[in-house]
Structure formats: structure tokens, C-alpha cells
């Protein structure tokens, strides 16, 4: 297991799902862990879980679509822990589904873009200067298999946001290459989280067919499997890995049949 002793990790969207699993994985590796999200009860419950692993924890209530919240989020992490080594910009929303492009309304489009794309840009805007002052750091932005291929779920705003996130991350990686700050993406395939369980429960036949097509391994991914890729990208083991996308999808993207 990588040792993150003395290091500080911030995970946006750490109140549930993949972000929560990533926060716990960093805590098990010895990092001090800050999570940011909107739901206070879930955020505080995560703090207790992280502390139960004998790691220091901080919850910051923040809406990543709001610039002031993000500025405050990073300030709070630095005020509490004195530094920021790893930032996982994971907060994301699905937005309109089963909605063809011309039927998407402006509010639906903006809601997805403001969290999934603008929120990640804003997060990096405040995270990167802290890392530059320290002489290094690692950022992982959470994209999706739908950051590299179209979604057949009538899910274009999400798909566009996750494609945009890949371009944003690669460009940022080049902007800061040589500074000690590395920036990469993780792109999960269908992963078992509460949100996904709800969607599968609501449309079991549709998802069974979708999974049959998408998962070469014939199963959903686990949150912990995604978290492992995130922490590896942050670790020194990935010291020459920059501006890339690691896909954690059981082979979905490799499958052309």
C-alpha cells in the first residue's frame, strides 16, 4: 500500500460513492483527508469514518459550482492542514437522461456544466497555486467512459462535460508540466454506487441490457477499484504519469463488439 503519511488529500464529492471510497483509501494510506460536498450530515458521517481509521479529517460544505465556495474550500484545507498534496476533483452530477439533445433545456445543460466542468476548472484554479507554492502535487479529475465515447442514454450534457474534462485536464497537465504538479483523469465505467443502484433498480431490464453491452467482465465496477487507480495516480509510483486518462471499466472501452 502506498504511504501518504504527512500528506494532505482533498476530495470533492467525498460525501458518498467513489469520492467517499477514495477518501477512505487515502486515510488508510496515512493521509490527512479533507472532503467537500453539499450534504452536511453525510459529510460529517464521513469525517467520523475517516477518524475511525486514525486519520485526521475535515469536512467543508461547498457547492463546486460556486467560485466563492471553492476558494473558501481550499483556504479551509490549507488553514487546517498547512498544505495540499493531492486533489481529487470528483464531484459530479448526471443531469438530464433519456433526453435527446434538442429536448434538453438550458437549466439542465447549465446544471451539469457548472458542476462537472466549470466546477473542476474552478477547483484547479485554487488548488494549483497552493501546489506550486509547495513545489508539487497531484490532481486527479473524475471523468467517465462517456468522456471518450457517446452515451446512448440520451445523456449528451453529461457526455459533453466529461469529454470537456479530459481536454481541460490534458491542457492543464501541459500548462504545469515541469513544475512538480501532475494532472490526470480517471474514467470509470459503470460503478456500483448508491446513485447507480437507484438507476439500476428503477430500470432493471434496461440496465441489464446496457451492462451486457458495456461490461466485458459482465459486472459493475466497485468504488474501491476506482479509488485504487486514483491513489496510484497521486502516488510517487506514478511520478512520470501526466496528462493521461486511466480507464477503470472492466474492458468496456476496449470492447468493439
Grid coordinates belonging to 31: 493521509
Convert residues 173-202 into a mask of x (bound to ligand NDP by CB under 6 A) and - (unbound): ---------------x-xx-xxxx------
Q: How far is the CB of 202 from ligand NDP (least distance, A)?
A: 15
Grid coordinates belonging to 156: 449528451
Q: Is 146 one of the catalytic residues?
A: no
Q: Which residues 79-98 are close enough to bind ligand NDP by CB under 6 A?
A: 90-93
Q: Return d(Cα 152, Cα 161) in angstroms, integer.
A: 15
Q: Does 19 bind ligand NDP (CB under 6 A)?
A: yes
Which alpha helices (DSSP H) does the chain contain, by range?
17-28, 40-52, 67-81, 106-112, 118-134, 156-176, 194-202, 204-214, 223-234
Q: Does 63 bind ligand NDP (CB under 6 A)?
A: yes
Q: Which residues contact 171 (CB under 8 A, 6 or more apart)?
A: none
Backbone angles phi and psi of 25, in degrees to 5 = -65, -40
Q: Does 144 bind ligand NDP (CB under 6 A)?
A: yes
Identified catalytic residue from 86, 126, 146, 158: 158
- Of 102 and 226, the one with the shorter C-beta distance to ligand NDP is 226
Considering only 37, 140, 168, 227, the residue that binds ligand NDP (CB under 6 A) is 37
Q: Does 248 bind ligand NDP (CB under 6 A)?
A: no
Considering only 142, 229, 238, 246, the residue that binds ligand NDP (CB under 6 A) is 142
Q: Which residues contact 57 (CB under 8 A, 6 or more apart)?
A: 27, 32, 33, 34, 35, 46, 47, 50, 51
- Of 19 and 137, the one with the shorter C-beta distance to ligand NDP is 19
Q: Return d(Cα 93, Cα 74) in angstroms, integer.
A: 21
Q: Which residues of this protein are in contact with ligand NDP, per CB under 6 A? A: 12-13, 15-19, 37-39, 42, 62-65, 90-93, 115, 142, 144, 188, 190-191, 193-196
Active site residues: 158
Amino acid at each position: 500500500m502506498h504511504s501518504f503519511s504527512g500528506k494532505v488529500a482533498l476530495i470533492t464529492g467525498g460525501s458518498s460513492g467513489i469520492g467517499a471510497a477514495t477518501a477512505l483509501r487515502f486515510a488508510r494510506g496515512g493521509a490527512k483527508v479533507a472532503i467537500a460536498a453539499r450534504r452536511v450530515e453525510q459529510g460529517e458521517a464521513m469525517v467520523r469514518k475517516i477518524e475511525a481509521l486514525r486519520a485526521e479529517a475535515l469536512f467543508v460544505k461547498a457547492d463546486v459550482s460556486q467560485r466563492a465556495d471553492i476558494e473558501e474550500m481550499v483556504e479551509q484545507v490549507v488553514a487546517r492542514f498547512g498544505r495540499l498534496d493531492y486533489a481529487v476533483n470528483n464531484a459530479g452530477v448526471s443531469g438530464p437522461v433519456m433526453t435527446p439533445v434538442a429536448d434538453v433545456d438550458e437549466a439542465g445543460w447549465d446544471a451539469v456544466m457548472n458542476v462537472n466542468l466549470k466546477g473542476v476548472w474552478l477547483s484547479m484554479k485554487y488548488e494549483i497555486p497552493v501546489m506550486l507554492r509547495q513545489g508539487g502535487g497531484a490532481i486527479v479529475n473524475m471523468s467517465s467512459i462517456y468522456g471518450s465515447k457517446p452515451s446512448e442514454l440520451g445523456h449528451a450534457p453529461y457526455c459533453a462535460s466529461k469529454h470537456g474534462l479530459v481536454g481541460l485536464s490534458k491542457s492543464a497537465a501541459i500548462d504545469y508540466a515541469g513544475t512538480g504538479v501532475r494532472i490526470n483523469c480517471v474514467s470509470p465505467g459503470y460503478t456500483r454506487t448508491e446513485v447507480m443502484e437507484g438507476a439500476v433498480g428503477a430500470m432493471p431490464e434496461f440496465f441489464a441490457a446496457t451492462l451486457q453491452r458495456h461490461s466485458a467482465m459482465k459486472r459493475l465496477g466497485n468504488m474501491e477499484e476506482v479509488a485504487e487507480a486514483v491513489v496510484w495516480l497521486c502516488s510517487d509510483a506514478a511520478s512520470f504519469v501526466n496528462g493521461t486518462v486511466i480507464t477503470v471499466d472492466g474492458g468496456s472501452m476496449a470492447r468493439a463488439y
